[in-house]
């Protein structure tokens, strides 16, 4: 691995040097008009909408607009902003249709805004039951709506698909796409497939079986459903395909749900009538629990091509056979026509969590190339003959010491990429987050069907070390950067400076620009050819979602939905602790010479009053830490370092301590998403957690006293 890293670093340095030369060449060839734009001072932009989730049918997220370009992007300023009504994660790609911007905030709420002024035209709140928060892995986020035939269609966190009248937001039809008694959630954007709309779901961390369903856009009537993993053979398989898939499984996987949820990426090629779905991880992650005799476990972590009209299986490619690390293949897929070996090939490209960049022929599923775009400790390469990864000897050693890269968060997650046909590059928001997996240490975690987060690993393997400079250490260890990837050469042409994970989704434009938000509250524009940062603005919060661009009356706008949260703030909350990223959920819209200003950031100083003393014994505190990591850390953060989305328990008021059992076991705070854990935590364990919280609270108080911060 070290050798490969070194070679890689050398290659990167060379790439950076070459990048400036490449940039010059590019300006002289593909981007001459952009250069000429300088003298004509921003010609009017042709009116242009953003009607599909990924802009074009290939979901390239590349706009032909070039009024804003690498020569004048420094003049970009705020045109208007709109404050969303909630303060949770924002991951939505807005749509812009006929002068209206349709954007979703948390809890699947839909806002229709005048795309020129930001004036609210209508608002839709699906009134999602807040207790569903405990049925999802990664916050009540939503990645956007679909638009077709005058309807705006949204998937809700509690598993409904709702079609709204685009003109006024009135409900046209509504269907429940999941079993509300199971741990299904929807965070992904629906996709339009001719006269149908397709939606998947999430919940593979909580024991469900994945599928996608197509509904008629006109009526909401179900057209077809495709399951991604086989169910219980006793119930009879839905198809011969499921019977064949079951041969790649062992044990009693159905008891665990199996997983394979399609919670984000889907892309439809209308010419081929093929819908490509990105299938998620196994449920639970640990294959030894789910399928003890091994096996590929189809169709986990696969790209599956389905016939759009019927939902019939056409082909699949599995990126991670025998998945066990949460290496979903749900990440953004891009369709493009690339010249490979002198032939124009219709390809599909993906950079899934597992760290390899895949180029496949999308008509047949043939693997054309696959190379690592990040450090991959689990596999050294992909054998092009068999299409299978070559795993390392320690890949499946889960002793709590063996460091794995990428982590379950992935080398790339849901943040959309973009493909710029002019530079020929795919821009990938990447992450470097090491993790250690630990086999489960108690019986309860080896039992299926519990309906709460159980991934078949012990979270203690991932507990943060008790060292005082932990935040500074994490800053060095957990990183992210934007990679400009050449899909033909399968190598990076340039990369951004290293920052915090993860950078946001990406937009590229014919103005030789790449736009991306960062975890450091910045929205930036890069020179698409060279990676030079040409513009940057403070958005006061993390910009995780991908920006879009559109033009009305000859004026080009850049729009971004911002707001911190999602998986980055809950599961990986530790990573952002101390980074002071507030959540200010907003829609921000920019144009050249925009003069609007954001209000000042509200003060966020928290005062830690002297906590009650620790009264528990050492063994109780130790038990409390174990129980905390198992049950609480997914939302409240490793070692209580939350991303600010959920309360930092160290700041719990005395009143919280007074009714601790009622909250933790009784679920009195269910209406705000804190469900009761009565089934999993007994009274003594709940008290042990409280003692651990008190220990950490007192520790923090003493640190703040010492630093003179406490009042």
| Alpha carbon separation from 170 to 158, 162, 174, 614 (Å, rounded) | 19, 10, 11, 54
Nearer to Ca ion, 326 or 522 (CB): 326
Nearest distance from residue 204's CB to Ca ion, in Å? Answer: 5
Selection from 212, 235, 289 nearest residue 258 by Cα: 289
* Catalytic option among 71, 158, 326, 445: 326
Nearer to Ca ion, 263 or 680 (CB): 263
User: Looking at 249-257, 286-294, 325-333, 630-638, which segment touches Ca ion (CB under 5 A)?
Assistant: 325-333
Nearer to Ca ion, 326 or 495 (CB): 326
How many residues of this chain interact with Ca ion, rule: CB under 5 A? 2
Beta-strand runs (E) in 351-505: 356-361, 367-372, 379-382, 389-391, 399-404, 418-420, 425-432, 435-438, 479-486, 491-495
Site residues for Ca ion, 627-666, by CB under 5 A, read none
What is the DSSP pairing of strand 222-227 with strand 211-216?
antiparallel
Contact residue for Ca ion among 281, 283, 479, 512 (CB under 5 A)? 281
CA atoms within 13 A of residue 587's CA, in its CB half-sphere: 33
Site residues for Ca ion, 244-263, by CB under 5 A, read none
Which tokens sit at 320? 């991670």
Give the integer Cα–Cα distance in Å for 546 and 503. Answer: 10
Nearest distance from residue 631's CB to Ca ion, in Å? Answer: 18
Nearest distance from residue 429's CB to Ca ion, in Å? Answer: 18
139 binds Ca ion (CB under 5 A): no
Site residues for Ca ion, 47-66, by CB under 5 A, read none
Nearest distance from residue 280's CB to Ca ion, in Å? Answer: 6
Bridge partners for 359 per DSSP:
349, 369
User: Looking at 82-90, 267-275, 281-289, 334-342, which segment touches Ca ion (CB under 5 A)?
Assistant: 281-289
* 3-state secondary structure at position 335: strand
Bridge partners for 662 per DSSP:
none
Give the integer Cα–Cα distance in Å for 668 and 208. Answer: 26
| Alpha carbon separation from 280 to 215, 277, 492, 667 (Å, rounded) | 22, 10, 26, 30
For residue 489, the tally of other CB atoms under 10 A from its CB is: 11
What residues have CB less than 8 Å from 385, skipping those under 6 apart? none
Selection from 667, 663, 672, 563 nearest residue 128 by Cα: 672
Bridge partners for 123 per DSSP:
111
Nearest distance from residue 205's CB to Ca ion, in Å? Answer: 6
Nearer to Ca ion, 227 or 485 (CB): 227
Nearest distance from residue 569's CB to Ca ion, in Å? Answer: 16
Nearer to Ca ion, 414 or 494 (CB): 414
For residue 354, the tally of other CB atoms under 10 A from its CB is: 28
326 binds Ca ion (CB under 5 A): yes
Nearer to Ca ion, 331 or 537 (CB): 331
Nearer to Ca ion, 97 or 206 (CB): 206
User: Looking at 128-136, 273-281, 358-366, 607-615, which segment touches Ca ion (CB under 5 A)?
Assistant: 273-281
User: Looking at 8-16, 280-288, 415-423, 625-633, which segment touches Ca ion (CB under 5 A)?
Assistant: 280-288
Nearest distance from residue 328's CB to Ca ion, in Å? Answer: 5
For residue 165, the tally of other CB atoms under 10 A from its CB is: 14
User: Looking at 49-57, 321-329, 341-349, 557-565, which segment touches Ca ion (CB under 5 A)?
Assistant: 321-329
User: Looking at 111-119, 278-286, 441-449, 657-665, which segment touches Ca ion (CB under 5 A)?
Assistant: 278-286
For residue 475, the tally of other CB atoms under 10 A from its CB is: 15
* 3-state secondary structure at position 400: strand
Give the integer Cα–Cα distance in Å for 556 and 515. Answer: 14
Give the integer Cα–Cα distance in Å for 631 and 628. Answer: 5
| Catalytic residue status for 139 | no
- Give the rounded distance of the alpha carbon of 627 from its chain centre: 27
Nearer to Ca ion, 453 or 515 (CB): 453
Nearest distance from residue 132's CB to Ca ion, in Å? Answer: 17
- Give the rounded distance of the alpha carbon of 276 from its chain centre: 18
User: Looking at 319-327, 335-343, 484-492, 624-632, which segment touches Ca ion (CB under 5 A)?
Assistant: 319-327
Which tokens sit at 356? 């390899």
For residue 38, the tally of other CB atoms under 10 A from its CB is: 12
Give the integer Cα–Cα distance in Å for 263 and 266. Answer: 9
Nearest distance from residue 327's CB to Ca ion, in Å? Answer: 9
Site residues for Ca ion, 77-116, by CB under 5 A, read none
What residues have CB less than 8 Å from 373, skipping those under 6 apart? 351, 355, 356, 357, 411, 412, 428, 430, 483, 485, 492
Bridge partners for 379 per DSSP:
391
369 binds Ca ion (CB under 5 A): no
* 3-state secondary structure at position 261: coil
323 binds Ca ion (CB under 5 A): no
Nearer to Ca ion, 405 or 470 (CB): 405
Which tokens sit at 176? 């429940």
Nearest distance from residue 677's CB to Ca ion, in Å? Answer: 21
Let me know the angle formed at the C-alpha of 107 by 104 and 113, rounded to the nearest 5 degrees: 25
Nearer to Ca ion, 159 or 410 (CB): 410
CB 224 within 8 A of CB 214: yes
Give catalytic residue positions: 326
Give the interface with Ca ion as residue ranges (CB under 5 A). 281, 326
């Amino acid at each position: 691995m070290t050798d490969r890293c070194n070679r890689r670093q050398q290659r990167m340095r060379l790439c950076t040097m070459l990048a400036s030369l490449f940039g010059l060449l590019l300006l002289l060839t593909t981007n001459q008009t952009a250069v000429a734009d300088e003298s004509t001072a921003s010609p009017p932009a042709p009116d242009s909408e953003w009607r599909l989730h990924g802009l074009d049918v290939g979901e390239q997220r590349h706009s032909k607009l070039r009024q804003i370009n690498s020569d004048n992007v420094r003049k970009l300023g705020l045109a208007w902003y709109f404050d969303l009504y909630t303060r949770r994660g924002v991951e939505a790609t807005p749509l812009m249709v006929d002068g209206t911007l349709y954007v979703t905030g948390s809890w699947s709420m839909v806002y229709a805004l005048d795309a020129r002024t930001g004036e609210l035209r209508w608002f839709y709140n699906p009134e999602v039951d807040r207790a569903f928060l405990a049925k999802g892995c990664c916050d009540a986020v939503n990645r956007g709506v679909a638009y077709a035939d005058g309807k705006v269609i949204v998937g809700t966190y509690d598993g409904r698909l709702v079609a709204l009248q685009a003109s006024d937001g009135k409900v046209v039809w509504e269907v429940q796409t999941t079993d509300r008694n199971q741990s299904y959630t929807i965070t992904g954007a629906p996709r339009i497939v001719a006269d149908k709309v397709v939606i998947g779901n999430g919940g593979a961390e909580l024991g469900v079986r994945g599928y996608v369903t197509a509904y008629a856009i006109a009526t909401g009537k179900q057209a077809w459903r495709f399951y991604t993993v086989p169910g219980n053979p006793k119930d009879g398989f839905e198809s011969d395909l499921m019977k064949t898939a079951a041969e790649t499984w062992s044990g009693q996987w159905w008891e665990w749900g199996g997983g394979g949820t399609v919670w984000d990426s889907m892309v439809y090629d209308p010419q081929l009538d093929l819908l490509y779905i990105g299938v998620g991880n196994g449920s639970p992650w640990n294959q030894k629990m789910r399928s003890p005799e091994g096996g590929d476990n189809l169709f986990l972590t696969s790209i599956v091509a389905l016939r759009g009209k019927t939902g019939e299986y056409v082909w699949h490619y599995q990126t991670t056979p025998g998945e066990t690390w949460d290496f979903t293949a749900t990440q953004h897929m891009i369709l493009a026509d690339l010249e490979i070996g002198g032939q124009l090939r219709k390809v599909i490209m993906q950079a899934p969590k597992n760290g390899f960049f895949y180029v496949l022929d999308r008509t047949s599923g043939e693997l054309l190339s696959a190379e690592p775009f990040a450090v991959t400790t689990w596999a050294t390469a992909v054998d092009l003959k068999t299409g299978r990864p070559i795993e390392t000897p320690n890949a499946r050693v889960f002793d709590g010491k063996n460091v794995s890269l990428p982590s379950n968060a992935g080398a790339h997650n849901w943040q959309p990429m973009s493909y710029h046909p002019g530079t020929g590059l795919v821009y990938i928001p990447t992450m470097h987050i090491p993790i250690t997996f630990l086999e489960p240490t108690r019986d309860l975690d080896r039992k299926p069907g519990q309906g709460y987060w159980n991934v078949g690993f012990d979270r203690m393997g991932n507990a943060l070390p008790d060292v005082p400079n932990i935040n500074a250490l994490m800053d060095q260890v957990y990183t992210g950067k934007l990679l400009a990837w050449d899909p033909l050469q399968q190598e990076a042409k340039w990369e951004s400076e290293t920052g915090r994970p993860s950078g946001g989704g990406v937009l590229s434009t014919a103005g030789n620009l790449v736009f991306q938000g960062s975890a450091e509250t910045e929205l930036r524009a890069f020179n698409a050819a060279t990676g030079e940062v040409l513009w940057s603005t403070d958005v006061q919060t993390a910009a995780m979602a991908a920006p879009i661009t559109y033009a009305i009356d000859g004026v080009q706008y850049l729009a971004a939905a911002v707001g911190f949260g999602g998986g980055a703030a809950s599961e990986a909350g530790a990573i952002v602790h101390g980074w002071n990223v507030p959540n200010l959920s907003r829609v921000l819209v920019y144009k050249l010479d925009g003069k609007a200003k954001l209000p000042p950031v509200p003060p966020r100083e928290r005062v830690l009053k002297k906590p009650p003393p620790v009264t528990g014994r050492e063994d109780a505190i130790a038990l409390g830490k174990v129980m905390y990591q198992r049950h609480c850390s997914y939302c409240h953060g490793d070692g209580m370092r939350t991303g600010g989305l959920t309360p930092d328990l160290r700041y719990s008021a005395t009143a919280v301590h007074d009714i601790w059992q009622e909250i933790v076991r009784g679920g009195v705070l269910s209406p705000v998403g804190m469900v009761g854990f009565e089934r999993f935590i007994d009274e003594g364990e709940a008290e042990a957690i409280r003692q651990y919280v008190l220990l950490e609270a007192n520790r923090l108080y003493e640190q703040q006293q010492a630093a003179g911060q406490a009042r």
